[in-house]
Amino acid sequence: MKFTVAIVGRPNVGKSTLFNRLIGKRLAIVDDRPGVTRDRRYGAGRLGDLDFTVIDTAGLEDVHDDSLESRMRDQTEQAVNSAQVALLVIDARTGVTALDEHFARQLRKRRTPVILVANKSEGKAGQAGAMEAYGLGLGTPIAISAEHGEGMGDLYDAMQPFV
């Protein structure tokens, strides 16, 4: 079985940007089962010499009603269920939000190992947010910039034990 990595977290933290960086020019496949079409994308991820399937949890950004939390919960459950490791992404510039804490709580209850990823950490703007992220109780946050490709070596080191 191929190793699978699920990218989870609240909207706008940079999950899709990280997904795109991990799949590079390789094509993403959208899950075409009814009801999940817009919600999850699968791609062939590569980081250094690691090859894996990567899942982007998407389709939540357009939803702003009461169903948002339950849809996020379902999305995260299903992605994490089929993964050997989850990347919980937070926005280091914004810092930790109530929704991030919600995700962290949900993931701490599960057996799937979690790597905490503090994205948007380029420059100095992310340093406080990355420190705050320790408080989520998911270990040392890995500071990256998905947009600028920074911190990918640290992400590699964090993922390697699970692959």
Number of residues that bind Mg ion (CB under 5 A): 3
**Interface pick for ligand GDP out of 4, 5, 8, 15 (rule CB under 6 A):** 15
Phi, psi of 89 (to 5 degrees): -95, 135
Taking CB atoms, the residue at the shortest distance from ligand GDP is 14
The least CB distance from residue 1 to ligand GDP, in Å, is: 26
Question: Are the C-beta atoms of 130 and 141 separated by less than 8 Å?
Answer: yes
8: number of CA atoms within 13 Å, CB side?
34
Binding to ligand GDP (CB under 6 A) within 24-63 occurs at 61
> Partners of 67 in the beta sheet?
none
Residue 120 one-letter amino acid: K
The least CB distance from residue 84 to ligand GDP, in Å, is: 21
Cβ-based neighbours of 68, under 8 Å, separated by 6 or more: 60
Q: What is the DSSP letter of 129?
A: H
Residue 119 one-letter amino acid: N
Q: Does 113 bind ligand GDP (CB under 6 A)?
A: no
**Interface pick for Mg ion out of 16, 53, 119, 121 (rule CB under 5 A):** 16
Q: Does 75 bind ligand GDP (CB under 6 A)?
A: no
Question: Are the C-beta atoms of 10 and 103 separated by less than 8 Å?
Answer: yes
Q: How far out from the chain centre does Cα 147 lie? A: 14
The least CB distance from residue 36 to Mg ion, in Å, is: 15
Residue range at the interface with ligand GDP (CB under 6 A); choices 37-45, 67-75, 105-113, 143-151 = 143-151
Query: Rule CB under 6 A: which residues touch ligand GDP?
Result: 11-17, 61, 119-120, 122, 145-148
Q: Which residues bind Mg ion (CB under 5 A)?
A: 15-16, 58
